[in-house]
Amino acid sequence: MQFGMTIIAAMAPPAVLPAKDLTDPHAGRPVPAVELSRVSVTFGQASDSVAALAETNLRIHEGEFLALVGPSGCGKSTILRLVGGLIQPTEGVVILGGREVAARALRIGMAFQNPTMLPWLTIEQNIMLPLKIVEPFRSQFRKEKRGAFRDKAHDLLAQVGLKGFAGKFPWQLSGGMLQRANLCRALIHEPRMLMLDEPFGALDQFTREELWAIMQKMWLAHKPTVLLVTHDLREAAFLGTRICVMSARPGRIVDDAPVPFARPRTIAMTFEPDFVALNQRLRSLIVEARSGATVSEESL
């Protein structure tokens, strides 16, 4: 961690507008959008408890695209759920935009591997669901803005290549199309923070690459803070501004490095020597983390 341990100072001044006003006047240095400090998460009760995270530290800066990779079951989704305020840390603190995460409205966009569209709503209605929940859209929903919201949904759909599918029901779309719609739903309320848990995991190679490009374009356009959990190292290196590698359970960050490649990145770049070398380095780190896990499980 290059930032040291000035976490408690960041907690002190509760910013009024956490998403925009990110300069901490006391430290004179930008407050990270997300900060996990010495966070531990233990699931279950004493006898059969599982330590998912142990004393994990992680900072994500405003506008950063952080890719999180690591062996299966190491606690990646747990980090994502912590940041989303869906679970509370057993120990430590999770700070968002200078404020501790508690039960509050966050306006975080989330997308999982499973698209979870509601079958009784059309794609357009599904995508507009966050607008029915998040303020200020919520109070505008019944009023004049509805038409504007619909335009926005159509616009997003067009961007992911689903033009003309707004009125269709989820069962009329393929898995890849649903996943595109899922991305739209995560983006419609213009979140400053995006939590993506293997959103492209179940897709074929070509659809996946196409969605990487779309994702990159959207990130370049709006610069939200993104946390992407993925198993695909090429994906991590293509999209991320920074890649964190986690150790096996209980997870902690064992490697944290920026991705130097220029943007916009292209698929062709992923076959260049530098890119391949980065992939190989990541791969060997994860292999190492995994073998560590196997040994410790055998020794039990």
Partner 1 sequence: MRKIINRQRRRSFGLIALFFVGWEVACLVSGMSDLILPRPSQVFTTMFQRMPILWPHILQTLMTTMIGFALGVALGVVLGAVIGVSRTAYETAYPLLIGFSSIPKVAVVPIFVLWFGSGTVPAVLTALSICFFPIVVNIATGLATTEPELEDVLKALGASKLDILWNVGLPRTMPFFFASLKVAVTYAFVGTVLSETVASNRGIGNVMMTASSNFNVPMVFAGLFILAGMGIALYVVFSLIESRVTGWANRKNDFAAA
* Interaction between residue 112 and partner 1 (CB under 8 A): yes
* Interaction between residue 89 and partner 1 (CB under 8 A): no
Rule CB under 5 A: which residues touch Mg ion?
77
* Interaction between residue 44 and ligand ATP (CB under 6 A): yes
Q: Which is nearer to ligand ATP, 11 or 51 (CB)?
A: 51
* Interaction between residue 172 and partner 1 (CB under 8 A): yes
Q: If DSSP codes are grouped into helix, strand and coil, which group holds residue 106?
A: coil
* Nearest distance in Å: CB 132, partner 1: 7
Among 25, 119, 164, 260, binds partner 1 (CB under 8 A): 119
* Interaction between residue 132 and partner 1 (CB under 8 A): yes
Q: Tell me if 249 sits within 8 A of 51, measured CB to CB.
A: yes
Q: Give CA–CA dist 59/245, Å, rounded.
A: 13
* Interaction between residue 122 and ligand ATP (CB under 6 A): no
Q: Give CA–CA dist 66/55, Å, rounded.
A: 19
* Interaction between residue 118 and partner 1 (CB under 8 A): yes
Question: Of these partners, Mg ion, partner 1, ligand ATP, none, which one is at the site of residue 75 (CB under 5 to 8 Å by kind)?
Answer: ligand ATP
Q: Give DSSP secondary structure letters for 161-230.
A: T-TT-TTS-GGGS-HHHHHHHHHHHHHTT--SEEEEESTTTTS-HHHHHHHHHHHHHHHHHH--EEEEE-
Binding segment toward partner 1, per CB under 8 A, in 67-75, 77-85, 202-210, 212-220: 77-85
Query: How many residues in the shown chain lie near partner 1 by CB under 8 A?
Result: 30
Q: Give CA–CA dist 231/210, Å, rounded.
A: 17
Angle formed at CA 86 by CA 80 and CA 92, multiple of 5 degrees: 75
Among 171, 268, 273, 298, binds partner 1 (CB under 8 A): 171
* Nearest distance in Å: CB 179, ligand ATP: 17
Q: Which is nearer to Mg ion, 110 or 166 (CB)?
A: 110
What is the phi/psi pair of residue 133, to 5°? -115, -40
Query: What residues contact residue 299 under an 8 Å CB cut-off, 6+ apart?
Result: none
Structure tokens of 229? 């959990």
Residue 68, H or E segment: strand 65-69
Binding segment toward partner 1, per CB under 8 A, in 15-23, 64-72, 130-138, 157-165: 130-138
Question: Of these partners, Mg ion, ligand ATP, partner 1, none, which one is at the site of residue 72 (CB under 5 to 8 Å by kind)?
Answer: ligand ATP
- Is residue 121 classed exposed, middle or buried when 0-12, 13-18 and 19+ CB atoms within 10 A define those classes? middle
| Site residues (vs ligand ATP, CB under 6 A) | 43-44, 50, 52, 72-78, 249
